[in-house]
Amino acid sequence: MPRSGVSVAECPGGCQVLGLAKASLDWPIRSAVVAEAVRLGGVVSSWCCPFPLVHHLTVNAHKAVLGVFDGCRAEDKVSAFRQYREKLAEKVVIVENLADKSVVKVIRQAAGSRYFPEGRKRIRAKIARKMGGFGSCNGYMLTLTFDPKMISREAAWREVGERGSRFMRAVNLWRRRKGWSKVRGIRGLEEQPSTGYPHLHYAFPKLRYLADIGKMVEWWGQAVNSVDYSYRDSFSPVGYVCKYISKLEGWSDEALAEIWGNRSRVYSMSSDYYLVADERCVPGWVFLRTAKLAGAGRWLRELIGSHDTVLGANDLAMEVYLDSS
């Protein structure tokens, strides 16, 4: 409920309202999630964006378009991200084998997350597996940066993924009009420590020329020196992508909060570079339940006692003290 005591539901336009023009209520309501919450009977209870609530309620809602995080203070974003990371570090998922229900597996959520060392290691292994058939070769390298004078840091993080995709669509359209083939490459996202802004790195294996530099500057829409390119006689596509996954270790929490909140990809690659085509495989495991590392001694013993095989139990027991309680 805002200070004026007026709920969004009582405003002209109801839940479809995009802004409130009352003198005592001049702050904008831009979140579709908040509007939906009000429709279900809720009221706005804070002057700032309820970041953790919004994060949990939105599902692939393109927050950059809806502006769900607009107006959030940087410290609120970082705080919400740290809380999420702390909870993720303590969370364990237990899955059961579909073919043999006496076999279960204990998986730490952090093991698959880019926000933890073990998760980044797993991602690098996945990239190497998918691109294993693509070794050292020549190629075209491209870097796209932002100009702080032309765009805010928050907007740059929010828009970097879509801007990069839009840039590549323009490149391929230009090439197609010239009768040239569509290019396929690999993209990595990185934080620039000196400015805190994101920038994109592209690698195009076995390509000598991408497009006219003047055109690329125009398509990217930033400063003249925001597009940098070079040609290399030899480089490793696998190493190129994995390098930027490893660099996440040195990112600031502010930058990590941005990619978390905006669901930004830190890397992407053309499907043509996969060693094996991505096919939907038949799942061999089914979700059983979740647990927390706190008090793991008790539930782990119960799990071992009720199942013949508990995969991952030994690794977990080395990290968690199994008390007798």
SS (H, E, C) 5-26: CCCHHHCCCHHHCCCCCECCEC
Q: Do 54 and 38 have their domain in common?
A: yes
Residue 1: inside a domain: no
Q: How far apart are CA 133 and CA 147, in angstroms?
A: 37
Residue 150: inside a domain: yes
Residue 42: inside a domain: yes
Q: Give 98's DSSP letter.
A: S
Mean pLDDT of the chain: 79
Cβ contacts of 121 within 8 Å, gap of 6 or more:
none
Q: Which domain holds residue 15?
A: 8-74
Rg of the chain, C-alpha, whole Å: 24
Cβ contacts of 143 within 8 Å, gap of 6 or more:
199, 200, 201, 202, 227, 228, 229
Q: Give 224's DSSP letter.
A: G
pLDDT, one tens digit per residue, over 194-205 is 899 999 999 998
pLDDT at res. 69: 56
pLDDT, one tens digit per residue, over 223-255 is 999 999 999 999 888 888 899 999 999 999 999
Residue 278: inside a domain: no
Q: Do 171 and 233 have their domain in common?
A: yes
Q: Do 126 and 216 have their domain in common?
A: yes
Q: How far apart are CA 282 and CA 168, in angstroms?
A: 34
Neighbours of 40 (CB within 10 A): 9
Instruction: Report the candidate in 21, 19, 72, 76 with the shortest Cα–Cα distance to residue 48.
Output: 72
Mean pLDDT of 210-234: 96
pLDDT, one tens digit per residue, over 135-145 is 788 999 999 99
Is the confidence at residue 93, as pLDDT, over 50?
yes
Q: Do 167 and 26 have their domain in common?
A: no
Strands 103-108, 227-235: pairing kind: unpaired
- Please count the structural domains in the chain: 3
Q: Do 129 and 235 have their domain in common?
A: yes
Residue 280: inside a domain: no
Strands 198-205, 103-108: pairing kind: unpaired
Cβ contacts of 258 within 8 Å, gap of 6 or more:
77, 154, 157, 158, 198, 264
Q: Do 58 and 93 have their domain in common?
A: no
Residue 258 burial (C-beta neighbours within 10 Å; 0-12, 13-18, 19+) = buried
Residue 2: inside a domain: no
Residue 3: inside a domain: no
pLDDT at res. 179: 96
Mean pLDDT of 106-112: 90
Q: Do 205 and 127 have their domain in common?
A: yes
Q: Do 129 and 268 have their domain in common?
A: yes
Q: How far apart are CA 64 and CA 266, in angstroms?
A: 16
Q: How far apart are CA 161 and CA 159, in angstroms?
A: 6
Q: Do 107 and 165 have their domain in common?
A: no
Asked if 152 and 292 touch (Cβ cutoff 8 Å), the reply is no
Q: Do 266 and 201 have their domain in common?
A: yes
Residue 176: inside a domain: yes
Q: What is the pTM of this model?
A: 0.73
Q: Do 216 and 301 have their domain in common?
A: no
Q: Work out the pLDDT band at 131, boundaries 50, 70, 90.
A: confident
Half-sphere exposure (Cβ direction) of 125: Cα atoms closer than 13 Å: 8
Asked if 198 and 134 touch (Cβ cutoff 8 Å), the reply is no
Q: Do 264 and 297 have their domain in common?
A: no
Dihedral angle at the C-alpha atoms of 56, 8, 66, 21, nearest 10 degrees? -150
Among the listed ranges 15-24, 123-132, 271-280, which one has the minimum average pLDDT value? 15-24
Q: How far apart are CA 88 and CA 109, in angstroms?
A: 6
